[in-house]
Structure 1
Amino acid sequence: MTYWDPLPALAALPADSPYADVRWDGRWEERNWRNVPGPFYGAATDTCWTGRLHAPESVLYDPEYGLEYVYRQPRDPGEIESLREAACEEAYGGYGYDGDLYWTPDAVRAWWRDRGRVREDAFSLGWGEWATIGREALQDLAAGARAYVAHIDGDLNGYLRGYLFRLQEGRAAHPGERLPELRP
């Protein structure tokens, strides 16, 4: 997976959608450390576990407090719409989409170097005690955590290299262009 800029697709979503009045009030300094680098993130969200109902391909929950975070950046317009729905249902307006203003190449590389902490956290959700409890919402959480581990172990490296290119060059890479390494 390479980087795809989701912000133009967000701006192009229909204004007459029931989810058009979403509050994107998330504050960068309050973001959850589990958020994967990119424009979207969960910050001071509620604890109602509604995000995965709308965006299971993008949203997970903090196991201790139930705070929502973005484990995979949207990959197409449908996932943008789903994430907007999740953000609209979030009572505190705790999602943000201004991460591009704050992520720097050094910060992305630092997150990548520390990904073991994030992976360990997701692994404990996907295969630990949370995965053995029979409630449907917890089984869904465990499935999402397993998807996050697979993302970290799989295509996240390519996505982040493309995101680094976007941060450095101000545009997505063209096919065949060399992408920066995550290790400086």
Structure 2
Amino acid sequence: MTYWDPIPTVRAIVGKPLPQWGPGTRTVRHDWSGPAGPYHEWTDRDWRSVPGPFYASGTDSCWTGRECAPGHVLYDDGCSGHEFVYRQPRTPQEVCDLICAGECEIFGAYGGDGDAHWTPELVRDWWRDRGRVREWAVVLDRTWSVSEDRYKREASAGARDYVAHIDGDLADYLRGYLFRLEEGRPARPGEALPAL
């Protein structure tokens, strides 16, 4: 799998409406490729956040992220209900979905400067500890899928999707991301990707 860099897409849509908003609506407020807003640090991102450029740090508890980006955002299971990014975007549409989640989050707690912080060693550490994340998602699905709360039942689908992502294509994505971090560019077709 070749790593696709979402940052040029992020920068290209600043000042334009997102496709899901429709014509004549508001526009993207700022460049979401930078750090999260004030008081929100990359080091405070949720431990379940998958490595990559995008993350959330101390979001509100309104649970709006999955309305925009159900294939990318999930909520913690504590009383805070913070959002985190469980899958990085791989297409322009997915970038728009994730930016929509950032735009709807009232504290500006989404950031897109993860590339400046993740190192190959940190990515490999996260991958080695993926069993902890996977087990958390399995338990969340088991608990929330039978909840009387329809929002929790909906979010349980994200937990199942996260488990499938961990068991499926995440390793290939992370190997491509490691190449990007080590070489400063995506791998070309046929180039060997580093091991996790």
TM-score, normalization: structure 1? 0.94
Give the alignment of 1:1-184 within 5 angstroms. Answer: 1-13=1-13, 15-17=15-17, 18-22=26-30, 24-25=36-37, 26-64=40-78, 65-126=80-141, 128-182=142-196
Superposed CA RMSD: 1.3
CA distance in 1, matches of 2:152, 2:47: 21
CA distance in 1, matches of 2:13, 2:133: 31
The count of residues paired between Structure 1 and Structure 2 equals 181
Deviation at residue 136 of structure 1 after TM alignment: 2.3
Deviation at residue 14 of structure 1 after TM alignment: 5.1
Q: Would the aligned equivalents of 1:36 and 1:70 in 2 still touch at CA under 8 Å?
A: yes
Identity %: 55
- 4+ residue runs over 2 A deviation: none
* Secondary structure in 2 matching 1:132: coil
- Point out where structure 2 has 5 or more consecutive residues left out of the alignment: 18-25
CA distance in 1, matches of 2:149, 2:93: 28
CA distance in 2, matches of 1:111, 1:162: 15
TM-score, normalization: structure 2? 0.88
